[in-house]
Amino acid sequence: MDARTIIHLNVADFAVAVERVLDARLRGRPVVIAPEGANRAAVFDMSDEAFLHGIRKGMALARARRLCPDTVVIAPHADRYEQAMRDLLARALPYSPLIEMTDSNGHIFMDATGTRRLFGPAYDIAWRIRKTVRKELGLDPIWSVAHNKLLAKVATRVVKPAGEYILEEGQEQAFLAPLPVDLVPGLDDGDLVRLREFRLDRVGQVLAWSLPQLEVVFAGRGQILYESMRGIDGSPVLPVGAEKPTLTADHDFGNDSNDVETLHAALFALIEKAGRNLRQRRMAAQRLGIVLDYSDGLRVARQGSLTPPSANDRLLFETAKVVLDRAWTRRVRIRHLRLCLDRLTFPPAQLDLFGDRSQSPPKDDRLMQSLDAIRGKFGETAVCFGRGLGCGEGERN
């Protein structure tokens, strides 16, 4: 049986790269993709030049301008990025049906296991795809070859913004050991803060810890850290056209209600359930949706983006309340509530260089880890927030 072989193609700073194909004057300049005219606009993507000035995804545009006054701001064009992803997929499809795209962000995983007899070694496939993409699309993807998705993704992070990497099986720990821990997918900000508290900056330092030691310090995240630092990842590459993973959670009200506290309590209970599921998968959600079924049969659905993606219950709940308010515009009582989390991705574990931690408080992250550990040992209902239990008085009017 052939050893598993995964190719990861990554067009660095994808949205910026697409805009630069259309406007060559943007090359070499600090560029930020953000809805400039919107209130509280946030950075959607940025060039490597902007990154070196400290600009990060999800950062307030006003702050990004302060960090780099010369930044060129361009409004997002989702249709362009989606078309570019379709064009990228078309160049990869002849080599394998197992190709997984993570939205319109320039990332493609390809399972090239068993294709050697037809197309040669996986690195030849990756090289040919890159050559075609550069010639026909004007984009320049980084590529890597490894035996699972986690290692392939780390390898492209190592050579970013341009390059290639071939990781042979058996070299996992030697490859990972000298790397900074924040290059490993699946870690969130809380993990990084906790690692820093123990002066664990490199993967090799974490490798010295046993699983029981990690579980003492990181509670429910111990197993995840143990496997991630060793390059262990059995997740499959989904075939083209496969339904993208989505988390849903539902609540039926025993008595139809339009009581604010009752709905918030039900929503928070769903968030707790879905958030734990996300963290167990080592994923974060980029989009959150709310579906309301009213007593008179009308259904209303609304959704909102999570920037940056999150698996933190508190941050998920704050976004969920905003989306709920957009969906809840009638005085009619509500019979059923559904929470949907999709566009799942690796958590963007990246500490802010300038100390603004308002987006993801480390205390919240450590609390989530402890609660996950307790629930994993004693059951889902062993411990929960009072908010998810209570029902207040007073109806919405």
The domains of the chain are located at: 6-13+79-173, 17-76, 181-229, 247-388
Maximum CA extent, the chain: 69
Q: What is the pLDDT of residues 168-191, one digit of tens each?
A: 988 999 999 999 999 998 787 778
Residue-by-residue DSSP string for 335-389 = EEEEEEEEEEE-------TT---TTS-HHHHHHHHHHHHHHHHH-TTSS--GGGT
The DSSP letter of residue 245 is P
Tell me which fold the domain 17-76 belongs to: MutS, DNA mismatch repair protein, domain I (3.40.1170)
Q: Using CA atoms, how far apart are residues 34 and 307, in angstroms rounded to an integer?
A: 12
User: Tens digit of pLDDT for each residue in 107-140?
Assistant: 999 999 999 999 999 999 999 999 999 999 999 9
Note the pTM of the prediction, 2 decimals: 0.72
User: Is-same-fold flag (6-13+79-173; 247-388)?
Assistant: no
- Helix, strand, or coil (residue 396): coil
Contact between 297 and 211 under an 8 Å Cβ cutoff? The reply is: no
**Domain 247-388, classified CATH 3.30.1490.100, yes or no:** yes
**The CATH number of domain 6-13+79-173, selected from 3.40.50.1370, 3.40.50.620, 3.40.50.10880, 3.30.70.270:** 3.30.70.270
Do 338 and 302 form a contact (C-beta atoms < 8 A)? no
For the stretch 89-109, pLDDT in tens is: 999 999 999 999 866 788 999
Give the C-alpha separation, 142 to 11, whole Å.
6
